[in-house]
Amino acid sequence: MKLGMVGLGKMGAGMAERLRRGSHEVIGYDRNPDVTEVGSLKELLESLEPPRAVWVMVPSGDPTEATLKELAGLASPGDILIDGGNSMYKDSIRRAEELANKGIKFLDVGTSGGVWGLEIGFCLMIGGPRDAFEAVEPVLATLAPPEGYALVGPAGAGHYAKMVHNGIEYGMLQAYAEGFDLLQASDFDLDLGQLAALWNHGSVVRSWLLELAERALDKDPKLESLAGYVDDSGEGRWTVLEAVERGVAADTLAHALFRRFTSREEDSFSMRMIAALRNEFGGHAVKQQ
């Protein structure tokens, strides 16, 4: 299948490469002249045959809004626009309605996999009309590992699922961080990397995140090269606000979010652990000591 990819950063570039390895033809556009393959969004659309499919992987908020608006002005009825970034689900519902009025189909795709997605695949949570989903399913099947993609509901559902996914991620990171903080504070001279490796063999807390903890601790046993400063990228806040709006108790997720705020005022081992894990799975920027 032939596809346009807008945004060739860490995620977009990995997705484009995985698709090419799967024999799809990908034409990429990025504002960075060093990596773009075409000079403009207009040129990108002109290089595709209708009905066209364009996947957008740019930062959420204003960059996504501006990109989709420009694409909407260039696209034709029957074209499919896909937002694979971390957009707010309410924005995706609105965008789907606006594009539908022009005859343009829209899919919101919650995308998880980080910098590892190129090799192991991206988990894809898709919202939107079934006909659009089926039209681009060959692309989805190539990007995802086996059973790693699904149409989860109508417009907005994909990004809603990804929002909650990231809220859960906050809580899991916080639990590991607090546990390893307690381990390193004990009177025993514990090898944290050894324990992470041990727990990954049969324990009930084994996970990919724990494998990444093992990897991070192997490189820096005390995480002394990192500052305990942890950003939040938006989805955690949205998840907590959604819980408040719906009257759902999300104590752990709220605590994990607020600890990230606290991390900007102190330097603790637990926050260094979260910074290390985020860097391992997503290539998120860290601050060095």
Residues annotated as catalytic (active site), given as ranges: 162, 169
Token readout for 240 is 């907590």
Residue 153 vs residues 2, 21, 92, 97: alpha-carbon distances, Å: 25, 29, 13, 15
d(CA 37, CA 197): 42
Cα–Cα distance measured from residue 149 to residue 165, given in angstroms and rounded to the nearest whole number = 14
Strand 80-83's sheet: what is its strand order? 25-29, 2-6, 53-56, 80-83, 105-112, 123-127, 149-153
∠ CA 187-190-196, nearest 5°, is: 140
